[in-house]
């Protein structure tokens, strides 16, 4: 299940967390919230963001 969790802390700061997304879709789906709230102070990406971003090493045969 895809979720966007918004926490308003006692000091007035707001935390936005996404769950159930993979790759850059979490950033795209939560962008409307960032647009409403204003400037982002920090950003912490979860392991789900990097899912499917593993680079495959390719080796070229240089000698016969």
Q: Where are the domains of the chain?
A: 3-50
The mean pLDDT value for 28-57 works out to: 80
Q: What is the pLDDT, as a whole number, of residue 50?
A: 80
Taking the model in full, what pTM does it have? 0.64
Q: Is the pLDDT of residue 63 over 80?
A: no
Higher per-residue pLDDT: 36 or 63: 36
The mean pLDDT value for 3-10 works out to: 91
The mean pLDDT value for 29-42 works out to: 88
Distances (CA, A) of 14 to 7, 30, 33, 37, 55: 6, 13, 11, 9, 34
Q: Is the pLDDT of residue 10 over 90?
A: yes
């Amino acid at each position: 299940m895809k979720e966007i969790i918004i926490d308003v802390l006692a000091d007035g700061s707001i935390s936005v967390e996404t769950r159930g997304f993979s790759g850059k879709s979490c950033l795209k789906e939560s962008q409307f919230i960032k647009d409403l709230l204003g400037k982002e102070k920090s950003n912490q990406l979860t392991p789900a963001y990097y899912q499917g971003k593993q680079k495959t090493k390719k080796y070229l045969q240089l000698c016969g």
